[in-house]
Amino acid sequence: MLGLLTIAWRNVWRNRRRTLISMSAIGLGLALVIIYSGLIARMMGDAKEQLDNAGLGHLEITAKGWRANRSPKLAIDDLDGVVASLPLPPSAEVSARLLSRGLLSSARANQAVEVHGVDWGQERAVALYLREVRQGAVPADDDAQGILVGEQLAERMHLKVGHKLRLMVQRADGEMGAALFRVRGIFHALSPSIGQRRVLISRAAAAELLGADRGAHQIVVQLERAADAAPVAATVRAKLGAELEVLTYAQIYPIFEAMESLVNGAIVVASVFVYFLVGLGILNTMLMSVLERTREFGVMQALGTRPGGVVRLIIAESFWIATLSVVLGLAIGVGVSWVGSRTALLDFSRQMGEGIEFSGAVLSAVFHTELSVRGVLLPALYVYVMALVVALYPAWRVSRLRPVDALRAT
C-alpha cells in the first residue's frame, strides 16, 4: 500500500501546473464552505443565545389568553408562588413584567409607547439595554416616579435626565390612568425600535397606574443554552397546568425557525454548487491524466498489472489531490474562521446601524464566525468522498481497455 501511494504521489506531480491549479481551486472551494458555514452558524447562534438584546426570553409565561388580546385584567396571580415553583436550571434568569401600551407626553411632544413595569434587579439580568444606560442611572427600587427612556425616544421628544413626563394608560377597570414621572436615565438599545418605543418604570408604579395588584402579565425566563428551551418548557408546562401559557421563543417568534430553515437551505445550495465544481475539477484532472497515460497503462497491464491495480493507482492519485486540496482549504478556512471568531469578519454597522431587526429578532450588524470541529471536518470529508466518487469513472474506463488497444493509443 505504501508503495502504491508513493507511485501515486510521483504521478500527481508529473504535471505540476495542472496539479497546482486543481489543488488551488478545490482548496478555495473548501475554504469558502467552511467560512460561510461558520458565519451562518455564528449568526443564528447569536440570535438565539443573545435574546437579551431585545429583552426577550427563551421561555415566556403568561396568563391564558393574555397574548391574544393583552388585556390588563389577565395578570398572573400569586406571582411569587408561581416563580418559586418553576422547575428551572440553577443558571436560569427570571424577570416578571407588567405590560401596557400608553401615551407619553412632555412639554414639547407626545409619543405612543410600550410600558414595561419591572423589578430593576431582575430585569437587568434579562435585558441588555438596562446595562447600557448612557445618561443618568437606573432608578432606585423605591423610586415610584423614575422612568427610563431610550436614546431615540429622548431625541425625538427632546428629553434629558430630570425632565418631567406624563404617562397615560388604560387601567384594568377600563378607565384611563395617568401619572407623572421624571426621566432618571436614557438607555442605549441595539434595536432602534426598542429605543424609540419602550419605556420602563418600576413594577410597583405600573401596578398603581394600571389599577392592578403586584402580579405580572409576563414572566420571562432566559436559559444558559437556547437548545434547552423546548425540554424546559415541557417540564414547566406540566408543573403549572393549563391556566398559564408557557411558550418558547421559537413558538412566539417563528422568524427564528424560518431564518434557520432559510440559511440551512442556502448552505446546502452553496455547498452543492461548490462540491459540484470540486468534483468537476478532480474529474477533469484525472481524465486528462488518464488520457495522457493510456499507453503507459497498457504497458503496465501487458507486464502483468491487473485491472484492479490500475484502479487502485488512479484512486490513490485522486486521494493525493484531495489531500493536498484539503490541507490548503483547511489552512485558509480555519485561519479566516479563527480570525473571524475573535474579531469582526464583516461590519455593516455604518450602513445598517448597530442592529438588524427581523420580526422581533435582533441581530448585530457586526458578523463573526464560529469555529467548530464538526464545521471543519465534515466539509473536508465531503471533499474526500467527492474525490473517490469522481475517480471511479476514469479508473473504470482505463481498466476496461485491452493492453493491445491501450498500446495503440496516440
* pLDDT (tens digit per residue) in 162-186: 999 999 998 887 788 899 999 999 9
The model's pLDDT over 387-404, given as tens digits with 9 standing for 90+, comes to: 888 878 777 777 666 665
Which of 252, 279, 312 represents a domain boundary (last residue)? 252
Phi-psi region of 241 (alpha: psi -120 to 50; beta: other; left: phi over 0): left
* Angle at the Cα of 225 from the Cα atoms of 187 and 44, rounded to 5 degrees: 75
Decide if 340 contacts 38 (C-beta within 8 A): yes
3-state secondary structure of 21: helix
Q: What is the pLDDT of residue 128?
A: 84
Are 75 and 205 within one domain? yes
- On whether the pTM is more than 0.75, the answer is no
Q: Which cell is 364 given?
A: 448585530
Are 29 and 61 within one domain? no
Are 148 and 223 within one domain? yes
Are 357 and 210 within one domain? no
Are 32 and 98 within one domain? no
3-state secondary structure of 403: helix
Handedness of CA 225, 229, 235, 239 (dihedral sign): positive
Four-point Cα dihedral 255, 256, 259, 260, nearest 10: -150
Q: Report how far residue 310's alpha carbon sits from residue 305's, in angstroms, rounded to the nearest whole number.
A: 7
Axis crossing angle, helix 373-399 with helix 307-342, rounded to the nearest 10: 160
- pLDDT averaged over the chain? 81
Are 288 and 399 within one domain? yes
Are 12 and 75 within one domain? no
Q: Which cell is 23 given?
A: 489543488
Q: Report how far residue 223's alpha carbon sits from residue 216's, in angstroms, rounded to the nearest whole number.
A: 20
Are 334 and 393 within one domain? yes
Nearest CA to 117 out of 83, 142, 147 is that of 147
Are 220 and 108 within one domain? yes
Bridge partner residues of 357 (DSSP) = 362
Are 41 and 182 within one domain? no
Which of 233, 252, 271 represents a domain boundary (last residue)? 252
Which of 252, 284, 309 represents a domain boundary (last residue)? 252
Q: What is the pLDDT of residue 161?
A: 93
Question: For the residues 176-200, what does the mean pLDDT come to?
Answer: 89
Q: Report how far residue 331's alpha carbon sits from residue 316's, in angstroms, rounded to the nearest whole number.
A: 22
Q: Report how far residue 382's alpha carbon sits from residue 240's, in angstroms, rounded to the nearest whole number.
A: 47
Under DSSP, the state recorded for 213 is: -
Centroid of chain to Cα 391: 37
Strands (E), 67-203: 93-105, 110-118, 133-136, 146-150, 164-170, 176-187, 198-202
Axis crossing angle, helix 307-342 with helix 294-302, rounded to the nearest 10: 130
> Quick check: 21 pLDDT over 70?
yes
* Other beta carbons within 10 Å of 50: 17
Q: Report how far residue 168's alpha carbon sits from residue 70's, in angstroms, rounded to the nearest whole number.
A: 17
The model's pLDDT over 283-303, given as tens digits with 9 standing for 90+, comes to: 777 777 776 666 666 666 666
Q: Report how far residue 24's alpha carbon sits from residue 15's, in angstroms, rounded to the nearest whole number.
A: 14
Q: What is the pLDDT of residue 282?
A: 75
Q: Report how far residue 388's alpha carbon sits from residue 382's, in angstroms, rounded to the nearest whole number.
A: 10
Q: What is the pLDDT of residue 136?
A: 92
Domain count for the chain: 2
* Other beta carbons within 10 Å of 362: 25
- How sure is the predictor about 1, in pLDDT bands with cuts at 50, 70 and 90? low
> Quick check: 137 pLDDT over 90?
yes
Q: What are the φ/ψ torsions at residue 216 (nearest 5 degrees)?
A: -150, 150
**Domain span at 333:** 2-51+256-408
Q: What is the pLDDT of residue 275?
A: 76
Question: For the residues 361-367, what does the mean pLDDT come to?
Answer: 67
Handedness of CA 146, 152, 155, 156 (dihedral sign): negative
Q: What is the pLDDT of residue 43?
A: 74
Centroid of chain to Cα 260: 8
Are 69 and 196 within one domain? yes
Q: Report how far residue 248's alpha carbon sits from residue 282's, in angstroms, rounded to the nearest whole number.
A: 47
The model's pLDDT over 23-78, given as tens digits with 9 standing for 90+, comes to: 888 888 888 888 888 887 777 766 665 676 777 888 999 988 888 888 888 888 88
Phi-psi region of 44 (alpha: psi -120 to 50; beta: other; left: phi over 0): alpha
Are 19 and 104 within one domain? no
